[in-house]
Structure 1
């Protein structure tokens, strides 16, 4: 099969460059932006050999998994661009739910949840990770690359907390099917986000599917740890922790640990 865009993505003006194998779709996307590519364009493969996640952690996609990056050059501030990652999580979750409903029919649904700041979970297992990168290009605009790596046929076994693949969950879904659905849902959520103007709606929907919301959370960043209740995310995408003393602390980055079964490890 071939990695192709969904009909809605095509209608929205997206293009796609598909690779049999590549080191990193994010790196390829940013290299093209530096050379003048303005997008919107998807860079996709079913085999990624040198990908990375947050904090330079390795993210390898063995043959059959989906590594996908979307590049758009836009006039937004870096802080605003960062909120696009929440739209990406919603788009992937919507694609997964659509394909799962088609595959299982009246069978049991899979609980797909969004883990701050960048994971999609299936139950308590990591199914996908999102990496957003931004860089100013020659004309002063911002090249924004949103990388989405999804475990379709295989999941790594050396992660800080358990990972799963769609195949292990019993879903007969291909990377090609997932990408077509993802590209369509991305077009929809990207339109809602609307250069950050629609982040209030993105935030509202994201919180409806947030893993661990209202439960005990521990955020670790370097030698610092903040503990309390996962209260919300604010209008910039920061996680809000309510401490035992009642203070609300915004967290911009860090590794998230939940005490519940929503997740047991670091993002």
Structure 2
């Protein structure tokens, strides 16, 4: 494996309330990017404030980095992080065929959700939180109808992956994709993401707070919006939960 990426700091905590909260606390004092990994979280959360179930042995880390981009450009780093996470999981499992990316920010393994990504702006910094079910998946009790069921790397592939091992691969992959993003913009990131997209060309439902839209998943546009072909024409949607 290559060496840890130059310019990226690293911290491993035995326990913390949330790596995202820790990133917010440390951000004002950081001049460069830093990965924060927690072996255990006591108050983890996912998108829209939802609780993130985090059994011991699963992966929880946040990359906090100074940024000067506009908000819409910052948001595109969810795709950068997804590509890096895809590459890291391939590296530790040796399996590329079972993995796919689900818009806007999930990674699927054998059709189940194995990882999620959460972005938060912290003034002049951006926090990218990543959770991966390495050893255990949450129970299905609170799963919404037609939602993707959670799975773990261990349950699907029978592969045991250490938290710091995954972090090493993830940090290296992220640095590579971030450099591409900074050098060439979103276009190559978009193309790479679409090559790994789940259900591209198939019918999906985008569920928003006030409405749902069902249509054929055509692409993601240059702003990162999912584009659906519906009976009412093409619709570009910036934020939604996607159901298959």
CA apart distance, 1:32: 1.3
Report the counterpart of residue 203 of structure 2 in structure 1: 216
Report the counterpart of residue 83 of structure 2 in structure 1: 90
CA RMSD of aligned residues (A): 1.6
Structure 1 counterpart SS, 2:29: coil
Structure 2 counterpart SS, 1:227: strand
- Residues 1-267 of structure 1: pairs in structure 2 closer than 5 A: 7-10=2-5, 12-33=6-27, 35-101=28-94, 110-136=97-123, 142-158=124-140, 159-160=143-144, 161-169=148-156, 170-194=158-182, 197-245=184-232, 247-258=233-244
CA apart distance, 1:177: 1.4
- Please list every run of at least 4 consecutive aligned residues from structure 1 whose deviation after the TM superposition is greater than 2 angstroms: 6-10, 158-161
The count of corresponding residues between Structure 1 and Structure 2 is 238
Task: Output the CA distance in 2 between the equivalents of 1:222 and 1:86.
Answer: 23
Structure 2 counterpart SS, 1:92: helix
CA apart distance, 1:176: 1.9
Task: Output the CA distance in 1 between the equivalents of 2:99 and 2:122.
Answer: 31
Gaps of 5+ in 1: 1-5, 102-107, 137-141, 259-267
Gaps of 5+ in 2: none
TM-score by length of 2: 0.93
TM-score by length of 1: 0.85
Is the CA contact 1:14–1:42 (under 8 Å) kept in the aligned structure 2? yes
Task: Output the CA distance in 2 between the equivalents of 1:233 and 1:92.
Answer: 19
Deviations 1:207-245 (A, max 9, x none): 000011100011111131111111100111100111124
Structure 2 counterpart SS, 1:177: helix
